[in-house]
Structure 1
Amino acid sequence: MSEVVARPRRRPWLRLFVTGLVLWVLTVVVTFATGNPNLVPTLVLLGSFLVPVTFVVWAFGRRHSGEVTAELLFTTFITGGVLGVLSASLLESYLLHPSPGLFFGVGLIEEAAKLVVLAFLTRRLQHKYAIDGLILGASVGFGFAAFESAGYAFTALFTEQGLSLMQLVQTELLRGLLAPVGHGLWTAILGGVLFSASGRQHFAFTGRLLLSYLGVSVLHALWDGMHSIALVVTLVLTGTRYQFSLLERGYQPQPTGTQAELFTFLSWGGLILVSLIGIGWLLVVRRRADREARTWWRVPAYR
């Protein structure tokens, strides 16, 4: 009897990521070498979409229901991402003004926009399993992140000294590294909570969903405002009278070496803390989703 050799599990998300990364690096090298502006759109799109698309493909392999098709995932990623960005931009333009609560307002608006788009695009699903809500929520969130990152990367290209490819590349690298713990994570949490009633054909507005929405919005606000928070805390802890007097007169004081180190520690430490809270929360929602899925499959068919 011939021996059967087990084949390793295929990982399409890994192949996609490696291929996309190689293409992005090649585009960076050729763009810097030739200075060809026609390559900028390719550079922006590859860098902005690589990580979000990879995570969506990875999540697709863990869906619970056959109703979550590749077509639906593509729709939530593209349509959800674009509609989320457009609606958030409109609301922020008309409703928000410079104030201490600006970041919280941005969090409330953007998370609401993504949640509404997610509910609208998935309203026709016959069974709304929480695990599928996690995946589809992440898809909308990563779509939002991809289009938002493309905008930031394009804007970073323009500086006072002219076009800066280095600024563009640095922006894409930073946002690519942070993408897994940003919009995709927050909307995945909301999607899991929204879909948490297994087998229900219609969405329900619950107290848990409201609290989750507010909590995710706070994490979003802390993430966006961490630079300002770290700056204020650094000044409160180490600021001198001379520095405060300069600030009162509208001048920006030069930070000391100790202040620069403390600011960097607080900035990155704060982002890491917010990320850990979000990941821990997602794991809790995921465990609850797994329990609901097991309960659903134990229910007799005649029920």
Structure 2
Amino acid sequence: MSGYRNTPRISDPPARTAATSHHWLRVFAVGLLLWIATVAVTFLTGNSNLVPTIVLLGSFLVPATMVIWAYERYAADLGPDRIFACFGIGGIIGVLGASVLETYLVSPSAWMYVAVGLIEEAVKLAALVMVSRRLRVSGLRYGLVLGATVGAGFAAFESAGYAFNAVLSIQGLSLKDLVETEILRGVLAPVGHILWTAIIGGVLFRERRGGRFRFTAPVIVTYLGVSLLHALWDSMNGIAVWLVARTTASEWQRAPFALGHMPDPTTEQVHLYTCYDTAGLIVVSLGGLLWLRLLVRRERGAPIPAQLPASPA
């Protein structure tokens, strides 16, 4: 087995060729056209057999594109098999672990989303460790890519579940709800699970020594931090409703709201809710992106670590 390799700084990605530098763009363009065509044909023909194709294309398009972009730009030397393992196996392990733990450990309460954030970030971190424990690399760059890949797999499989639930309604199959759900989750995917797991993955691999993962203070603090971002993201709907009620609710609305209901909101309240919800998601996203930028800038300013000699095979 080859020896443990330290990683070049984040500013020194692997060399890329013109033939491979834009695969991600072609994948996205072709996938998007196929998704649009499938949606159009389904609406025109009413053929429900095409619904799974819409679900799969729409759920996997953006996460897969992000993974290909990150792989080509920063981690082409890892090889596609490792990326496929992190995306597929890591993503499935993550959603299965989250489903089991949330079923038995999470109950409706004011802290429900905090628990969800802690659980889902923990299972993604565990999945990352499981699928990359034999990979003899370290450093922020590899951790960012591999973490983002596990997060993308988690996001893709989770989005497929949400899309499947959205298409089912009392009146039958709702293609409109399916399309709206996939567009919304596709737009938000890069600043959700992908970003959060990239951050924790980057710090985890940066702290790795001698081929062993170390759960040091920076790793634990980062885990708690991305879990908090996750919790804020998930709870933004409720926060927006609370803000609307606190700032605009009339006397007759306050009593039902105290019992957990928002009766007959006005048009202005609906618009205000949308503004609060969107603004909150933007703030959370910017917080995660700023955190990622600070990690990368710190890594670029750090001295290049000395290379360790390879051990005999």
* 2:51 aligned residue: 40
The secondary structure found in structure 2 opposite 1:90 is helix
* 1:87 aligned residue: 97
* 2:38 aligned residue: 27
Please tell me whether residue 69 in structure 1 is matched to residue 79 in structure 2: yes
Paired with 1:9 and 1:143, the residues of 2 have a C-alpha distance of 22
Please tell me whether residue 16 in structure 1 is matched to residue 27 in structure 2: yes
Runs of 4+ in 1 over 3 A off after TM superposition: 6-10, 197-200, 246-252, 288-292, 298-302
Deviations 1:159-201 (A, max 9, x none): 1222111111111011011111110000000000000136631
Partner amino acid for 1:230? A
The secondary structure found in structure 2 opposite 1:62 is helix
User: Which residue, out of 191, 214, 226, partners 1:216?
Assistant: 226
Cα deviation, residue 120, structure 1? 1.3
Task: Determine if contact 1:118/1:137 at 8 Å carries over to the other structure.
Answer: yes
Cα deviation, residue 9, structure 1? 7.6
Q: Matches of residues 1-303 of structure 1 in structure 2 within 5 Å?
A: 10-64=21-75, 66=77, 68-197=78-207, 200-248=210-258, 252-291=262-301, 295-296=304-305, 298=306
Q: Is there any run of 5+ residues in structure 1 with no aligned partner, and where?
A: 1-5
* 1:3 aligned residue: none
Give the total of aligned pairs: 294
Cα RMSD for the two superposed structures: 2.0
Change (3 A) 1:127 1:15: same
Q: Is there any run of 5+ residues in structure 2 with no aligned partner, and where?
A: 1-16
Partner amino acid for 1:281? W
Change (3 A) 1:245 1:61: same
Cα deviation, residue 39, structure 1? 0.7
Paired with 2:22 and 2:260, the residues of 1 have a C-alpha distance of 55
Partner amino acid for 1:295? I
Cα deviation, residue 247, structure 1? 3.3
Task: Determine if contact 1:234/1:263 at 8 Å carries over to the other structure.
Answer: yes
Paired with 1:11 and 1:275, the residues of 2 have a C-alpha distance of 26
Cα deviation, residue 63, structure 1? 2.8
Task: Determine if contact 2:90/2:127 at 8 Å carries over to the other structure.
Answer: yes
